[in-house]
Amino acid sequence: MYLKCLVYGVYSLEFVQSVLVVDALFRTFVTKFGDVQALDQVETLWLSVPILTAIGELPCIENEWLMF
């Protein structure tokens, strides 16, 4: 049961990360097309890229340590 919850949790985090990245990219390159200053805005990328990636990689790091 623990492993199933872990897998669902990682998939949920990856889904949220994908939605946040796609939303930020859509707003930057589609909605604000031609606005050079829009390329300088960070929006939600500070959360979706480094933080959610680090949280999603924790189970992988644990498995690699157990394999070693």
Which DSSP letter does residue 63 get? H
Indicate the Cα dihedral angle 61, 5, 45, 29, nearest 10°. 120
Residue 62 confidence (pLDDT): 67
Note the pLDDT tens digit of each residue in 21-32.
899 889 888 988
% of the chain residues with pLDDT over 70? 87
Task: For Cα atoms 49, 38, 33, give the angle at the middle one, nearest 5 degrees.
Answer: 110
Residue 30 has what DSSP assignment?
Answer: I
pTM over 0.85: no
Angle 29-31-33 (CA atoms, 0-180°, nearest 5)? 50
